[in-house]
Amino acid sequence: MYEEEKELFAEMMDIIAKLRGPDGCLWDKKQTLESLAPNILEEAKEISEAVKSKNKDNLREELGDLLMVVFMEIEVAQEKGLFTYSDVLTGAINKFIRRHPHVFGDVKVSTPEEALAVWKKMKKEEKEINS
């Protein structure tokens, strides 16, 4: 399952690394965490607009643009020794599992609203522990 996607994910990582590499794109190599950050907001807005317009082709394109910016942010952070792709993915996986005890644990919910309440409760508990 998802074998093609795994290969494409790895290919995207390789493309971003090449863009940032010695023979890469001058503009991409110049980018920093700070210079890329506004692009995340811009792409998120464009995704929202594509959803509202019900234009699936535009939505697919804008989601790809957001992924590219996210990959670029991770690549820059990795170059700086801040964290790796694996760190980001592991953190996201752990968070999703932790915040869904009604799926991955023994908590029972009956409605979407209850599921959201569980998510919010788990998030609040995490913030209190990390404060």
Structure tokens at 92: 């996201």
Q: Confirm if 100 and 81 have CB atoms less than 8 A apart.
A: no
* Domains of the chain by residue range: 3-83
**19 Cβ contact partners less than 8 Å away, ≥ 6 residues apart:** 25, 28, 29, 72
- Read off the pTM: 0.88
**Local confidence pLDDT in tens for the 131 residues of the chain:** 799 999 999 999 999 999 999 999 999 999 999 999 999 999 999 999 999 999 999 999 999 999 999 999 999 999 999 999 999 999 999 999 999 999 999 999 999 999 999 999 999 988 888 88
Structure tokens at 10: 């790895």
* Domain 3-83, CATH number (from 1.10.287.70, 1.10.287.1080, 3.40.50.2300, 1.10.10.10): 1.10.287.1080
Distances (CA, A) of 27 to 62, 98, 110: 20, 39, 50
